[in-house]
Amino acid sequence: MNRTIGLISTNYSVPGFGSVTEVRPAASIPFGGRYRLLDFALSNMVNSRIQTVGLVTPYFYRSIIDHVGAGKPWDLSRKEGGLYILPGTVFGFHEENARFLFRDLLHNLEYLRQGDGDYILVSSGTLVANIDYQPMITRHELEGKPVTLLYKKMQPGEKRPGRYLTLDGDTVAGIRRADEGENLLLDCFIVDKSFLLRMARDYAALDYMDFLDILAHVLPEVAVGCCAFDGYVAFMDGMEDYFRASLDLLDSSVRRELFQSDRPIRTKAHDTPPALYAPGSAVKNSVMTAGSIVEGSVENSVCFRNVRIEKGAVVKNCVLMEKCVVKAGARLENVVCDKNVTVSENKIVCGTAEHPCVLAKGGVV
């Protein structure tokens, strides 16, 4: 079988995240108590036996580099292959649903040329799912089409802005942007390296476009394949999606699908003692992470490392990122607290399930 190398794009903006992405790229947003969104894309590639991965970073890449380092948690700190940190073009691409700026590919042709793979598996850094790419790679090789797109069949009545595929059997007949449809293109595809290098030569003048938009224009001349994924996917187009996906983790069936023992989601390790539950505290149906101290009440919430809930405080339907402090008597409901937020004594902060209240990093309420 021909070898496949990976390419993960993180050089794009997601305006729906607001203040959360003022201090970090969307791919490095903390998720699930101990992970970052990027962990899923990296782990999926490594679990699919891809040993060379390029990571296209934006100009404010500090949090990404701090998290991934040399790639050791993903077994990518190696002499052959491994993790390559690649520069993205300044400011990236601000159009909604755009993830693969063609200029970023052109800017990193040396990585693509020198890579030892005949195929390149490309993914966004915010695709939250546990995907085995091997069946997709095998299908791509057997069918012989230069591109294979990953998609998810949507349920009737389910709405989600994005790119939708029109299929003719196993061939993609069209790609269109819409608010709803049947076959939603996920932020992932496999492309023959030779085909991508040809596109880089022939369409260099369109470097301001997304690769998938260019592909949509050349469909009449190019046979494009497709592969369906029917597992759980957490879409990440803004804080409402993030909040919903975070609380989905309280469902044991979702946790079992995302965090499989034979396909682990790897992340940067922290040496932190277990959470401490003080006498009189109450925790119900929540994700509590190492280093937290709980003296109050927590229900249906996700709490990251080193969170402190003081006596008499009530936290319900919330996401509290690392080192947040909820003082005595405070009450939070339907709230997302970024890192290092402090909620003062007896304060009440409430959002709604559809529109959670978001407290910016380092804030004091």
pLDDT digits (tens, 9 = 90+) for 96-140: 667 899 999 999 999 998 877 899 999 999 999 999 999 999 999
184, 188, 182: which is closest to 152 by C-alpha? Answer: 184
pLDDT score at 119: 96
Q: Above pLDDT 90, what percent of the chain?
A: 88
Q: Is the pLDDT of residue 198 over 50?
A: yes
pLDDT on residue 94: 53
Instruction: Read off the pLDDT of residues 204-216 as tens digits, 9 standing for 90 and up.
Output: 999 889 999 999 9
Residue 173 has pLDDT above 60, yes or no: yes
Alpha carbon distance, N-terminus to C-terminus of the chain: 57
Q: What is the pLDDT of residue 158?
A: 87
pLDDT for res 97: 66
Contact 208, 106 (CB under 8 A): no
Residue type, 90: V
The distance of Cα 109 from the centroid of its chain, to the nearest Å, equals: 24
- 90 confidence band (pLDDT: 50, 70, 90): confident
| 115 vs 298, higher pLDDT | 298
Question: Model confidence at 92, in pLDDT bands (50, 70, 90)?
Answer: very low
Q: Give me the pLDDT at residue 271, please.
A: 84
Domains and CATH numbers, the chain: 4-258 (3.90.550.10), 276-359 (2.160.10.10)
Compute φ and ψ for 12, nearest 5 degrees.
Answer: -155, 160
At 348, the pLDDT band (50, 70, 90 cuts) reads very high
Q: Does residue 266 surpass a pLDDT of 80? A: yes
pLDDT score at 91: 54
User: Are the C-beta atoms of 272 and 305 separated by less than 8 Å?
Assistant: yes
Alpha helix (H) residue ranges in the chain? 38-47, 62-68, 102-107, 109-114, 134-143, 193-202, 211-218, 239-248, 252-258
What's the pLDDT score for residue 1?
Answer: 45
Mean pLDDT of the chain: 93
Report the pLDDT value the prediction gives residue 96, as an integer from 0 to 100. Answer: 62
Give 157's pLDDT tier (boundaries 50, 70, 90). Answer: confident
Q: What is the pLDDT of residues 304-342, one digit of tens each?
A: 999 999 999 999 999 999 999 999 999 999 999 999 999
Q: Which of 51, 119, 112 is nearest to 83 (CA)?
A: 51
Q: What is the pLDDT of residue 2?
A: 58
Tokens representing 237 are: 């187009």
Q: Place 165 in a pLDDT band, splitting at 50, 70 and 90.
A: very high
H/E stretch holding 44 reads helix 38-47
Q: Which residue has better confidence, 13 or 281? A: 281
The amino acid occupying position 238 is G
Query: The tokens 């469902």 sit on which residue?
Result: 251
pLDDT confidence of residue 31: 97
